[in-house]
Amino acid sequence: MARNPIFATYRQGENRVTGSMLAVFERLEVGLLQRILGGMLEESTIEIVEYRLQPGESDASVPDARMRASFEWLFEVKTTQGMVREKQLRAHLSCFRSDADDQRLLVLTPDAVEPPAVRGMDPRCSWCSFRQLSDAIDTVLADPGVVVGEHAVFLLRELQSLFAEDGLLDPGADVVVLPARIAYPEYLAYSAYVCQPKRAFKPGLTHLGFYVERAIQALIPAIRLVEDEVLFSEAVAKHREATGAPDQAEIAALIRALLRTGPRAEESYKVILLSPPDHDATVRLPAPIPHTGKAAWVQNQRYTSLATLTTAGVVSTDDLTK
Q: With pLDDT > 70 as the criterion, what percentage of the chain qualifies?
A: 93
CA dihedral sign, ordered 255, 260, 266, 267: negative
Cα distance between residue 75 and residue 71, in whole Å: 13
Cα dihedral: 244, 249, 252, 258 (round 10): 170
| Burial (0-12, 13-18, 19+ Cβ within 10 Å), 162 | buried
Residue among 80, 271, 83, 228 nearest 166 (CA)? 80
Pairing of strands 302-304, 192-195: unpaired
The pLDDT of 139-166, averaged and rounded, is 90
Mean pLDDT of the chain: 88
DSSP class of 221 = P
Residue among 106, 99, 56, 51 nearest 84 (CA)? 106
Q: Are the C-beta atoms of 124 and 104 separated by less than 8 Å?
A: yes
Residue 297 pLDDT greater than 90, yes or no: no
Q: How many CA atoms lie within 13 A of 11 on its CB side?
A: 3
Q: How many CA atoms lie within 13 A of 159 on its CB side?
A: 28
- pLDDT tens by residue, 8-67: 444 456 888 999 999 999 999 988 998 999 889 888 767 777 777 777 666 667 777 877
Residue 224 pLDDT greater than 50, yes or no: yes
Q: Which string of b and e fits 251-281 if b means at least 16 CB within 10 Å?
A: bbebbbbbbeeeebeeeebbbbbbbbeeeee
Q: Are the C-beta atoms of 111 and 133 separated by less than 8 Å?
A: no
Q: Which residues contact 312 (CB under 8 A, 6 or more apart)?
A: none
Give the ranges where the chain is alpha helix by DSSP (H).
13-25, 30-40, 86-93, 130-142, 150-165, 183-190, 234-242, 246-261, 306-309
The pLDDT of 162-179, averaged and rounded, is 87
296 pLDDT band (50/70/90 cuts)?
Answer: confident
DSSP class of 53 = E
Residue among 124, 125, 72 nearest 101 (CA)? 72
